[in-house]
Amino acid sequence: MLDQTGARLVLSPAADVPRSPPLYLRICGPAGCQRFVTFSGQQIRVNGQACEVLVDRQGQIMLVGPKLFWSGSDPMAKGDRYQIEAATLAKTS
């Protein structure tokens, strides 16, 4: 995770790396911008709120939390006061 205070590494409590490709998210809100590299099914904290990152069958990225829902298929849904960008990180050889 990258935010105004710098880079922080948040490790999984278990060695369970998903087989899905990594995802990049940039989330800007009232407290500034945060950037994440994570996987579908993992949780991230957006300005203190736990949110789940999901990818649907069409490859659309979603961010779901108690007070936040955002889908890449509807980028105009800003999730209240947030501007969100999300992408699948491509494999490189």
Domain chopping of the chain, boundaries: 2-88
Question: How would you write the pLDDT of the chain (93 residues) with one tens digit per residue?
Answer: 566 666 666 666 666 666 778 999 999 888 888 999 999 999 998 878 899 999 998 889 999 998 888 888 775 554 567 888 999 987 655
Q: According to the model, what pLDDT value does residue 76 have? A: 57
Buried b (16+ CB within 10 A) or exposed e, 56-78: eeeeebbbebeebebbbeeeeee
Are the C-beta atoms of residues 91 and 21 closer than 8 Å to each other? Answer: yes
The pair of three-digit structure tokens given for residue 1, joined into one six-digit string: 């995770």
What is the pTM for the complete model shown? 0.75
